[in-house]
Amino acid sequence: MTGRPPPPPSLVDRVRGLVHRACVVYGGGPAMPELQAAAARLDEPLRVAIAGRLKSGKSTLLNALVGQELAATDAGECTRVVTWYRDGHTYRILAHPHNGPPRPVTPGPTGAARDLGGLRPEDVDRLVVDWPSAALRSMTLIDTPGLDSLSSEPVRLAELGLLKAETENGGRRRRTFHLTETGRDELREWLAEPTPEHFQMRDIAELKLFFNEVGEPDDVVRLAREQVQAHRERIAVYEDMQKRYDEIDAVARRMVTLRLGLEMEHAALRFWSSLLEPGLDARPRVRSARSPRRSGVGREGDDEHHEGRRRGPR
Ligand SMILES: Nc1nc2c(ncn2[C@@H]2O[C@H](COP(=O)(O)OP(=O)(O)OP(=O)(O)O)[C@@H](O)[C@H]2O)c(=O)[nH]1
Ligand SMILES: [Mg+2]
């Protein structure tokens, strides 16, 4: 009776054999550290990185996979540093800076890192959290910053060779990003492309106005007054900018967009002011196509409103 043939070696086993043979052939050479790292990596649990847009639930998913609230998920909390969660004998967090040895980090009450061992997020390559956990025995989970976060975008562009970063030597060690030649070419190409997209407006006030019939008529009056005030203030800011920068040749060309901004602010101011125009009874009112007479919602003798009209848009 013959036994069954042994199962073929798995892909990992075959790669392990290959790396082992390479270590023998290249032993002592400059490639050795890399080969040793590759050999060690094959014995580690699978690495799973969770990537996605800002505030899309990456850390929440990670916590669900571990079965514990390890990563911070507060509304204001951002994952600003790539964080590895590995199975470990004891609980420990180390911050690995771009330069220098790892530093211990104070854990917070839930196990998330409370600080970065005195380092700034941009100086940290990664945080490594060791946590005894059955779930992490089979895989190391890696939490990553939101893809569209402002701080990570220039870094990504620098990695693509489109920007070049310069870091101050002292002080706050601020980083300044400059366009590279390749970056400038890419930008020029983009400028020459057609622009089929219609402009987008994200205006919470407009959204509230759309649903006005669900609320009280007074809500609309309040909203319109707030908006009139807000747009007036913004117009003042833009006009001030115009005064300050119009005469400066270096920026004069790009200030043309300020004119568009002003036009839009004036249009918004005209619109919200029109909602407060008094009707026949001289009270401020929300104009309604269906029942203009019934929709008067303001208070009698509202001076602010009358002043609003006088100072309205040109
Ligand atoms: N309703 C709902 N809320 C969720 C879900 N997943 C996460 N949240 C909430 O969304 C918010 C952000 O979740 P996080 O897990 O911190 O998101 P994140 O992608 O790690 O955020 P950043 O690290 O800042 O990019 C938290 O308040 C979560 O409680 C979900 O599936 N449904
Ligand atoms: Mg997160």
**Residue 54 near ligand 1, beta carbon < 6 Å:** yes
Cα–ligand 1 centroid distance for 75 (angstroms): 7
Which residues lie below 8 Å from residue 275, measured CB to CB, with a gap of 6+? 220, 221, 224, 286, 287
Q: Is residue 18 part of a domain?
A: yes
Mean predicted confidence (pLDDT) in 222-246: 94
Side-chain-side CA neighbours of 5 within 13 Å: the count stands at 3
Atom 16 of ligand 1, nearest CA residue? 73
- The Cβ of residue 75 has, within 10 Å, a number of other Cβ atoms equal to 5
Q: Is residue 62 part of a domain?
A: yes
Q: Is residue 119 part of a domain?
A: yes
CA separation, residue 292 to residues 225, 237, 268, 282, 306 (Å)? 19, 35, 22, 13, 19
**Residue 112 near ligand 1, beta carbon < 6 Å:** no
The best mutation among 50, 54, 59 to test binding of ligand 1, ranked by most ligand atoms within 8 Å of the C-beta, falls on 59
In a shared domain, residues 70 and 100: yes
In a shared domain, residues 276 and 214: yes
55 vs 2 pLDDT, higher one:
55
**Residue 65 near ligand 1, beta carbon < 6 Å:** no
**Residue 55 near ligand 1, beta carbon < 6 Å:** yes
Q: What atom of ligand 1 comes closest to residue 73's alpha carbon?
A: 16
Residue 80 has pLDDT above 90, yes or no: no
Cα–ligand 1 centroid distance for 184 (angstroms): 36
Q: Is residue 304 part of a domain?
A: no
- 286 burial (CB, 10 Å; 0-12 / 13-18 / 19+) is buried
Residue 77 has pLDDT above 70, yes or no: no
The model's pLDDT over 3-28, given as tens digits with 9 standing for 90+, comes to: 788 888 888 889 999 999 998 898 88
**Residue 80 near ligand 1, beta carbon < 6 Å:** no
Q: Looking at residue 15, what is its pLDDT?
A: 92
Amino acid at 211: F
Please state the domain count of the chain.
4
71 vs 298 pLDDT, higher one:
71
Which residues lie below 8 Å from residue 5, measured CB to CB, with a gap of 6+? none
Q: Is residue 260 part of a domain?
A: yes
Q: Is residue 100 part of a domain?
A: yes
Q: Is residue 198 part of a domain?
A: no
For residues 164 and 180, what is the distance between their CA atoms, to the nearest angstrom?
6
Q: Is residue 303 part of a domain?
A: no
Mean predicted confidence (pLDDT) in 59-88: 83
Q: In the listed set 90, 108, 143, which residue is the last one of a domain according to the structure?
A: 143
Q: What atom of ligand 1 comes closest to residue 63's alpha carbon?
A: 15
For residues 313 and 239, what is the distance between their CA atoms, to the nearest angstrom?
14
Mean predicted confidence (pLDDT) in 54-67: 90
**0.75 exceeded by pTM:** no
In a shared domain, residues 18 and 99: no
In a shared domain, residues 123 and 211: no
The backbone torsions φ and ψ at residue 130, rounded to the nearest 5 degrees and listed phi first, read -95, 130
Residue 62 has pLDDT above 70, yes or no: yes
**Residue 146 near ligand 1, beta carbon < 6 Å:** yes
The model's pLDDT over 160-203, given as tens digits with 9 standing for 90+, comes to: 999 998 887 776 677 889 999 999 999 999 999 999 999 988 89
Residue 314 has pLDDT above 50, yes or no: no
In a shared domain, residues 138 and 160: no
30 strand-pairing partners:
none
Judged by its nearest atom, the ligand closest to the C-alpha of residue 113 is 2
In a shared domain, residues 113 and 36: no
In a shared domain, residues 254 and 208: yes
**Residue 56 near ligand 1, beta carbon < 6 Å:** yes
In a shared domain, residues 55 and 32: no
In a shared domain, residues 50 and 138: yes
**Residue 38 structural domain:** 12-42
In a shared domain, residues 164 and 137: no
In a shared domain, residues 67 and 133: yes
Judged by its nearest atom, the ligand closest to the C-alpha of residue 64 is 1
In a shared domain, residues 92 and 175: no
